Amino acid sequence: MPPENLYAKNYFKALSILQIALIAGIVLFGAIISMLLLVIKRPVDEHLSNVFHYVVGGASIACILASKMVFKKKLNQIPADASLSSKMNAYRAALIVSYALLEGPALFAIVSTFVTGSFTLLIFAGIMVLLMLQARPTPQKAIIDMGLDDSERMTLEGPGSDY
């Protein structure tokens, strides 16, 4: 999926669709678990809930930090003389890994909500979703994140780009 052929509009639209699909999965799973808990009306296990608050919170913080570090590390591994297509493929791979590291704690928080019956654990899933939304891929972010030169920037923002 080289950006020279698709230009920014289509290339970043595909990345945005991927991002929205991952977020939609989290939201749908959270909604299903919430509805199940409301229907079965199971009492909250306070002791287990307290333990899971710390575990989910710790996992969330660790994965947020890991997401940022891995994303930067993967971008730093891109050779400066690589083609724009190679750079964009590496950028897409870095974004996918970053999203996966944010999606994991969100799903864990939802499962923990089901196990404990505590809806407050869904806050962690909400935070992960917000962070994923904040990381929306745009040509400007790609240019800044990868430090593209002027010719690469012009190619990326080629005809059809409305960003």
Tokens representing residue 122 in the block: 């869904």
Domain spans of the chain? 3-156
List pLDDT tens digits, range 75-97: 999 888 888 888 888 999 999 99
Q: Could you give phi then psi for residue 83, rounded to 5 degrees?
A: -70, 160
Tokens representing residue 73 in the block: 């590390």
pLDDT band at 5 (very low <50, low <70, confident <90, very high): very low
DSSP assignments along 36-85, one per residue = HHHHHTPPP-HHHHHHHHHHHHHHHHHHHHHHHHHHHHHHHTS-TTS-HH
pLDDT for residue 20 is more than 60? yes
pLDDT at residue 159 in the model: 58
Q: Is residue 110 within 8 Å of 123, Cβ to Cβ?
A: no
pLDDT band at 162 (very low <50, low <70, confident <90, very high): very low
Task: Write the CA distances from 38 to 70, 126, 141, 148, integer angstroms.
Answer: 38, 19, 41, 50
pLDDT at residue 84 in the model: 84
pLDDT at residue 44 in the model: 79
User: Between 134 and 138, where is the model more confident?
Assistant: 134
pLDDT at residue 11 in the model: 82
Give the whole-angstrom CA distance, residue 88 versus residue 93. Answer: 9
Residue 117 backbone zone (phi > 0: left; psi -120 to 50: alpha; other: beta): left
Q: Span 130-145, mean pLDDT?
A: 89
- Per cent of the chain over pLDDT 70 is 91
List pLDDT tens digits, range 37-85: 999 888 878 888 899 999 999 999 999 999 999 999 999 998 888 888 8
| This prediction's pTM | 0.84
Give the whole-angstrom CA distance, residue 106 versus residue 112. Answer: 10
Contacts of 111 (CB under 8 A, 6+ apart): 33
